[in-house]
Amino acid sequence: MYLRYTSSGYVFISPQDNLDMIVDGLLATNYNEEFCLAIDFNPVFIASLMAAGFLVMSIRQEPEGLRDQEDIPEAILLPKLHLVRSVLFFPDLHIKKSLKTLLPRYELRVNTDFDFIVNRCIAIHGGDWLTKPLVRSIKRIRKNSQPTVKVQPVSFGVYRDGILRAGEFGVLVGRVYTSYSGYYDEDSAGTVQLVLTAQYLRDTGYAFLDFGMPLDYKTDLGATNIDPRCFVRLFREARRGF
């Protein structure tokens, strides 16, 4: 696969590319960057990137290496293929004893208050990578699912006494859920949400939970760090049939 590079050494991806072949090319050439670059925020293209295993991020500023191009949009896409990926295989889910007593106090709701949860994530964490064009595209993917690219943005929220206490959103592709961002408004509610989400995915037949970037709290839940070749193999096996 012919890969196109910017002057700063990043692979540039366009909607005309075969994205599985792009991924194969990144692996074959030992591409040592986690990010590629793209400038098309068309929802079908973004859904296709997600379906290829990229975690799609973006930035508002103009990155070095694209300054010589015309018609630069207000934001740049950063499709990310992690050099180390945090993945939770459900048999490895670890629930601390102190948390087990809290789980019955909360109710998990799926795909309720999606827009609120996305907006709350941005309000708490900022919109540095969840730029307005990317969020608009994610919401359009959710509203108008494409028959040729079955990617489903989804939210998970935990409620106590009928009030939303913590939530996250991400993307379903085949039998994989990729987590994008989350938040909590009371102590321990965020961890409860992660545990109840993992149990829901396990019980409804998903293969694994893709956490993206490794962090200690993910490891504490039982997540394993794997290399990109292993991730791509597992991801492609799990997306079959959609």
Query: Does residue 190 carry a pLDDT above 90?
Result: yes
Q: Please name the residues in contact with 200: beta carbons below 8 A apart, sequence gap of 6 or more.
A: 108, 110, 156
Asked if 211 and 88 touch (Cβ cutoff 8 Å), the reply is yes
pLDDT at 144: 78
Report whether pLDDT(242) > 90: no
Residue 181 near residue 165 (C-beta atoms within 8 A): no
Q: Which residues are paired to 78 by β-bridges?
A: 57
Give the model confidence (pLDDT) of 103-150 as tens digits: 999 999 999 999 999 999 999 998 889 999 999 999 999 987 655 558
**In the predicted model, is pLDDT for residue 221 greater than 80?**
yes
Task: Pick the more confident residue, 82 or 67.
Answer: 82
Q: What is the pLDDT of residues 25-77, one digit of tens each?
A: 999 999 999 999 999 999 999 999 999 999 999 998 654 555 555 555 578 99
Q: 135 — alpha (psi -120 to 50), left (phi > 0) or beta?
A: alpha
Judge whether residue 211 has pLDDT over 60: yes
Ordered structural domains, the chain, with CATH: 4-82 (no CATH), 86-239 (3.40.630.70)
Digit-coded pLDDT (tens) for 191-200: 999 999 999 9
pLDDT at site 138: 95
Q: Is 123 left (phi over 0), alpha (psi -120 to 50) or beta?
A: alpha
- pLDDT score, position 86: 98
**pLDDT above 90: percentage of residues in the chain:** 86
In this prediction, residue 241 carries a pLDDT of 57
pLDDT for residue 225 is more than 90: yes
Q: Are 22 and 5 in contact (CB under 8 A)?
A: no
Cα 87 to Cα 210: distance, rounded to the nearest angstrom? 5
Mean pLDDT of the chain: 92
Give residue 71's pLDDT.
54
